[in-house]
Chains A and B, each alone.
Chain A
Amino acid sequence: MADLPLAGIRICDLTWVIAGPTATRVLADFGAEVIRVEHGQAADPIRFGRPILSGKPTLNNSGFFNYFNRNKKSILLNVRHPLGMELLHRLIAVSDVVIENFSSGVLDSWELSYEAQKAINPAIIYCSVSGFGHTGRDKHFTTWGPTAQALSGLTMMSGLPGKPPAGWGYSYMDHTAGYYSAIAVMMALHHRNKTGEGQHIDISQVEAGMALTGPAVLDYTVNGRSFRREGMPTGNRAWEPAIAPHNTYRCAGDDRWIAVACRNDAEWGAMVRAMGEPAWAGARFETLVGRLEYQDELDTRIGEWTATRDDYAVMAALQAAGVPAGVCQGPSDRVERDEQFRARGWWTSMPHAELGPEAGIDGVTPRLARTPGTNRTASPLLGEHTLDVMTGLLGMTGDEFAEYTEMGVFM
């Protein structure tokens, strides 16, 4: 069996909802032992999150939860019980990383600041993911992914001019704050490998979003131009680099669209040939200046050409000519029709006690040739590994476990 790149790394995972679990999904995919510490009295709301298989939520039948929590273990631990907190200390003592995405101040209220964690485990890497970070005057403010998208500028950068913002359609910044957290944790692990030193990583979800708007901020600080101006955002037309055609065009069928971008005159020429050299595609569209100047007509004409055609057929024809083009794929398109995903074996399934023997899931990217990340287990049932972790990792006897259970430590 191929070795996993993060084999031997143990994560004490106090995260919930999406941003934190995204980070630990990445670490688990690459082989870290991720132990989710869960609370029956205040369960991760994603365990109730739609889509739920067969109506009533059971805490274990959310497809949403399954997607973000594969390859992990789950233990129930009542941290409001002194013995539960003591067990959390013991888990931190044998972990490489503690990660949480509570509001700032929660871990302090548990008396588990970084300093306190360091007293338990001097080399611990503590990663906190919060809306506004653990310092600064507004550190007590809170976010969901969309709040972070709004405050960072990403929401405004998505939409048609003159319309309300469209974006983002999902919690892009829950995913992406999770990615930054996984990156940060792995960097800190590398530093610890070299020096033995752990550290605290303080991640603000809003800052992670602001870091994705660099050129827009510089256009203001250098050129004095804000995105809050007429004509912005540009919908699917190019902002920078300014190229045309660059848009989405309606195809035959219900809500079918193709995105097309010609980066230069040569690609435009290839597109004209692929369209059968229509008479309208003449002189004034031959140069970028002309295509930008007459972009309304250009888009109308291209839309007339695509409107009666199948989106995948348009993509194939344009790509055969070397023109960047892609269907706006929905989830069913990606899973059922996408030839690239199919050829690369992207879709798979893992058995899950309540979601069925073939609960669907995607693969692990990027692909490491020697030690690829893998799908090993579907998401854990709530508390599925409490006994294993307590009696195995933490060395508790069966009698102790029964006694602690009786006292309400594992709930």
Chain B
Amino acid sequence: MSGPLAGLRVVEHSGPLGQLAGKLLADMGADVVLVEPPAGSAARAVGPFVDDVPGPNRSLNFWYHNTNKRSVIADLETSEGASTWRSLVGCADIVIEDCAPGELDGLSLGYSALGEPRSGLIWCAVTPFGQDGPWAHYQATDMIGLALGGPMKMNGYDPEDAPGAPPIRGLGDQGYNTACHYAAQGILAALLYRDRTGKGQFIDASMHEACSSTTEVALPYWFTLRTDVFRQTGRHAAAQPTEPWLYMAADGKYNLIFGVGRDNATWAKIKAWFQESGFGKQFGEPRFDDPAVRQPGKGSPEAAEIMAELGAFIAGHTAEEVYRGGQERRQAWGVVRAPSEALDDPHWSDRGFWAEVTGEGRAEPVRMPGAPYQFSATPWELRRPAPKLGEHTAEVLAEWLGQQ
């Protein structure tokens, strides 16, 4: 089997910002060659590390974001490295780079020197703010992207939960990830255009625009009502205060609750479940029969009673019991898991979600997230773990360039 992108050659020069874009292509069959300086991609210096020992081949961040790629060392500051870069780009279908705007052009190694003469080449530059504009050369990390782009201002606490708390950044480099989700969309759109016409093009992918495009109701509120939404603990930012969604269970974990028995069929099931456990004894009274009075946020006493009983019910059960019991009764409830706690959920093993990799310091395979999508004909596939620094220099130069 081979992925939908089998046969495509991609040259990548990226670190923490752009590396997911290359992974998305590599995991679906593209031959992605990561060109690294002799010291390695900056992503190799990002922890956590195997056994907390830093080293170019021990970054778990790098392990995850560079699966299925091959590594070639080329120092673009030297004439030999520059020549290698030119040659690799010369036989690539797609280039992905996350250098500062103008940086590669300054070395005569950017799109204007290498891309424009080749009409079929797709060149995607991922940057914090795009190629032009007053902030084009502003410095940014993932957090800066999430701050300026808007996600952070929507995420945080009610004053009673954390007085004076700032907007909060969700961890996991989600600003970089979002930049790369858009970069991949652009690359694939350009690829479909090339399928039709043979023509490539330059793609200007900005993390700032990507993050701003990923803030749900925030912009609609401003465009429609000239209102800013404000952040609230563990739930959506909104233009008005809303009801809590998080309830602590008996084991100290949180359940995430969206309403209770919105329609009468599921309400009957929830009612029976609660009452079997000794909660919500009053729910049999006819005043609870109208779905409208059961909805939180409208001020009805019945809704308040339901939420109070729900809180007591959850406090008396484990979070997983509440989650599964709710889902079995058609409630889209959740449990707030640590990322690794999904490893214990057999549903994901049923689907074959986990991938297994080895690497420096771990000869036995360890699990990590696998396919974000399941293709019936051309599936996601782990062909090789992330490359060791320079592991494939000779191999790729021989294969792509015929150099021995």
Contacts and interface: CB of A to CB of B under 8 A. Distances in A.
Given A180-B181, A203-B374, A234-B171, A331 B222 contact: yes
B249 to A, nearest CB: 12
19 contacts: A8-B196, A63-B224, A66-B224, A143-B332, A153-B342, A158-B155, A169-B235, A172-B151, A190-B4, A197-B377, A203-B372, A207-B369, A323-B139, A324-B139, A332-B226, A365-B205, A366-B124, A366-B183, A368-B193
B284 interface: no
Given A30-B189, A169-B154, A363-B209, A188 B375 contact: yes
Contacts of A377: none
A343 B132 contact: yes
Contact of A324 (B144, B188, B367): B144
Given A154-B172, A221-B368, A340-B208, A146 B258 contact: yes
A214 interface: yes
A218 B359 CA distance: 12
Q: Which 10 A-B pairs have the closest CB atoms?
A: A63-B224, A153-B339, A360-B223, A214-B64, A169-B155, A220-B340, A169-B154, A366-B205, A191-B4, A186-B188
A215 interface: yes
Nearest to B248: A164
B366 to A, nearest CB: 4
Nearest to B164: A250
Contacts of A225: 48
A63 B28 contact: no
A341 interface: yes
B369 A5 contact: no
A143 B334 contact: yes
Given A63-B220, A323-B139, A164 B234 contact: yes
B135 A334 contact: no
A240 B223 CA distance: 36
Interface string A201-245: 111101110111111111111110111100001111001111000
A166 B168 contact: yes
Contacts of A133: 351, 374
A143 B258 CA distance: 10
Contact of B350 (A137, A144, A187, A322): A137
A321 to B, nearest CB: 9
Interface stretch (A34-42, A256-264, A275-283, A384-392): A256-264
Contact of B60 (A136, A197, A222): A222
A212 B177 contact: yes
A319 B138 contact: yes
Contact of B135 (A339, A369, A373): A339
Contacts of A3: 193, 197
Interface string A330-362: 111111001111011010000000010001111
A88 B351 CA distance: 30
Interface stretch (B79-87, B211-219, B272-280): B211-219
A215 B338 CA distance: 12
Interface in B214-246: 214-231, 233-237, 239, 245-246
A5 B189 contact: yes
A84 B350 CA distance: 36
B161 interface: yes
Contacts of A302: none
A107 interface: no
Contact of A241 (B46, B135, B181, B229): B46
Interface in A285-342: 319, 322-335, 338-341
Given A136-B350, A137-B350, A146-B235, A227 B215 contact: no
A261 B141 CA distance: 7
Given A147-B332, A201-B376, A222-B50, A371 B369 contact: no
B133 A343 contact: yes
Given A167-B168, A187-B188, A335-B222, A217 B340 contact: yes
B38 interface: no
A199 interface: yes
B47 to A, nearest CB: 4
A208 B373 contact: yes
A221 B335 contact: no
A92 interface: no
Nearest to A235: B168
Given A215-B61, A330-B228, A166 B166 contact: no
B246 to A, nearest CB: 6
B147 A166 contact: no
A102 interface: no
Interface string B4-44: 11010000000000000000100010000000000000000
B260 to A, nearest CB: 14
B239 to A, nearest CB: 7
A332 B222 CA distance: 6
Given A133-B351, A153-B342, A226-B341, A191 B246 contact: no
Contacts of B261: none
Interface in B242-258: 245-246, 248, 254, 256, 258
Which of B154, B164, B202, B334 neighbours the largest number of chain A CB atoms within 10 Å of its CB?
B334
A218 B368 contact: yes
Interface in A79-111: none
Contacts of A51: 217, 220-221, 224-225, 227, 239
Contact of B46 (A240, A255, A338): A240
A26 B185 contact: yes
Contacts of B168: 158-160, 166-167, 235-236
B375 A167 contact: no
B165 to A, nearest CB: 6
Contacts of A52: 224
B214 A172 contact: yes
